[in-house]
Amino acid sequence: MPKTLYLGISPCPNDTFIFFALIHGKIGLPSLRFETALADVQQLNEAALLGTFDVVKVSAAVYARLKESYVLLRSGGALGWGCGPLLVARTPVGTPELAHACIAVPGSLTTANRLLQLHGFHSGRVLIKRYDEILPAVAHGEAEAGLVIHEGRFTYHRYGLHHVLDLGAWWEQRTGLPLPLGCILARKDLGRETHLALEEAIRRSLDYAQGHPEEAAPYVRSLAQEMEEATIQEHIDTFVTSYSRDLGPDGLRAVEMLTAAV
């Protein structure tokens, strides 16, 4: 009998693109089956801390707190260059003017919040919001600024907001490494053989989506917060990178550096 694993990913286009073939049985995997749940990354982080999922997408920043029960898989993650969270504000200000401001962040356990802490310019209050609520919160005055991720990187102009700081670019300049945003973890007790099978299955799923994008598109589109085709494609192009296929030495080093002081 195939082993059924509980898989948790986000509804964001990069995750649904990568996992489309795996979820829909497009690749042969006789030893494993998946029951899939879709949730916001902060919810996935919290669920992983409770051990809810067998395989789960989490913010890279939370990995250090999960090492006793989960292992880091080398495939399926979101790492790269030019893909970091952006700090945006209602007015064209710099970081000094926001040092004591209220900044909306997409979850306390997210990589975005971790980068804000590492940068060190901010000592004010943070307002926890789901990632797709950040832009409206800033535009409507709930917070003076916000950290935007996912589609928000491409749509903040529509809210009349102004770019203040690219925390991904700051990380790249500081470390010389790609920015690890999200990682795929698997429960340690699944065993090494299953871990390797999962890594290979995720790679094959990604290869299938890249070879058959027209098949993956309806599923990805049905779950995307931002429905414009161009934005969905820009999201995939930005967050699905060569590191999504294999972290490699630089990707592994970047994850370790991000989580070293957590």
What is the rounded radius of gyration, in angstroms, for the C-alpha atoms of the chain?
18
* Alpha-carbon span 130 to 262, nearest angstrom: 22
* Alpha-carbon span 36 to 169, nearest angstrom: 33
Q: State phi, psi for 180 to the nearest 5 degrees.
A: -85, 110
Exactly one of 122, 150, 195, 235 is catalytic; which is it?
150
Active site residue 163: no
Give the ranges where the chain is alpha helix by DSSP (H). Answer: 13-23, 41-49, 111-119, 134-139, 152-155, 167-175, 192-211, 213-223, 229-239, 242-245, 248-259
User: What 3-state class would DSSP assign to 186?
Assistant: strand
Q: Tell me which residues are annotated as active site.
A: 150
